[in-house]
Amino acid sequence: MQFNRCGKSGLMLPAISLGLWHNFGHIDKQETCRSILHAAFDAGITHFDLANNYGPPPGSAEENFGRILRRDFISYRDEMVISTKAGYYIWAGPYGDFGSRKYLLASLDQSLKRMGLDYVDIFYHHRPDPDTPLEETMMALDQAVRVGKALYAGISNYAVSQTRDAARILKELGTPCLIHQPKYSMLVRQPEEGLLDTLEDEGIGCIAFSPLAQGLLTDKYLQGIPEDSRAAKSHGFLQKQSITPALMEKIGSLKNLAGERKQSLAQMALAWLLKDPRVTSVLIGASSVKQLTDNLGALQNIEFDMEELNKIDQILNRS
């Protein structure tokens, strides 16, 4: 496993981290979840990323991870980086969503209880709150660190200006922002429009979520929509109508280029992100040990020449 320094902190993160956004809820096979966690840790993945609403149902990913942690990994706790988040809807009423101090700290307490932990390594605000003052939200992250319920503070889904403001406030409070978690892939390039430069300037690490565009940057949908895929499920963000013939033509061309590099499409998509030194880690999901193992193969070649990069941009209609 390759480890990268997270921004200007002392923390090293694996180049590939495991996210439990999908495939670890109560609706999933628990022995499969356990096998994936074992395979990930054995391969050098030390960072496991959760949130209060991961499941389904919400909270179940933390519960299942906590149970497996206590059963199999508790003696390795100090070798693991465990993160969770709060910021999306988790319970009814005025205190179960967005970014108030009340919600964030109560949610963190609930997350720790579900996982059976005294602290998480990273606690994120999951998305900006348009109504709560940013100072209040950042003070909640600072408090979580100061009382020992989190070691580091992070943010996710923040725009460039919001990131700068959050970083400034946290720095003034004495708890620097460790990491930002944006959506970033070959198909989602917004972080290149100022965010990556801002993170570098502020000394903040970057961990990309949905680096495979929820499975689009794999072979999965080239022959149609499998019954067990995310696009076939009633819940989730990837919808059938997003999988257009034009998009599949691009995916097919990217797969051909990956083949020339002796990689799978998924491996090339992950390597493409990791080629940028500003990207600390990529956050993958996995529904099987086989899928996890294939993704880990990306680390065997993360170098691209200019001809390959130009071909990728041409495929994606970018100059």
Range of the structural domain that residue 286 is part of: 3-216+268-301
In a domain? residue 243:
no
Q: Does residue 312 sit within a domain?
A: no
Burial of 261 (0-12, 13-18, 19+ CB in 10 A): middle
| pLDDT band at residue 214 under the 50/70/90 scheme | confident
pLDDT, one tens digit per residue, over 154-169 is: 999 999 999 999 999 9
pLDDT in tens, 217-226: 998 777 655 5
What is the predicted pLDDT for the residue at 219?
87
As a whole number, mean pLDDT of residues 236-254 equals 79
Confidence of residue 232 (pLDDT cuts 50, 70, 90): very low
Q: For position 172, which CATH number holds?
A: 3.20.20.100
Task: Decide if 251 is inside a domain.
Answer: no
Residues 35-92 have pLDDT tens digits of: 999 999 999 999 999 999 999 999 999 999 999 999 999 999 999 999 999 999 999 9
Residue 137 included in any domain: yes
Indicate whether 319 pLDDT > 80: no
Does 291 map to a domain? yes
Is there a domain that residue 246 lies in? no
In a domain, 262, yes or no: no
What is the band of 243 on the pLDDT scale with cuts at 50, 70, 90? confident
Give me the number of domains the chain comprises: 1
Q: What is the DSSP string of 238-259?
A: --GGG--HHHHHHHHHHHHHHH
Q: Is residue 281 part of a domain?
A: yes
DSSP 171-231: HHHT--EEEEE-B-BTTB-GGGTTHHHHHHHHT-EEEEESTTGGGTTSSTTTTS--TTSGG
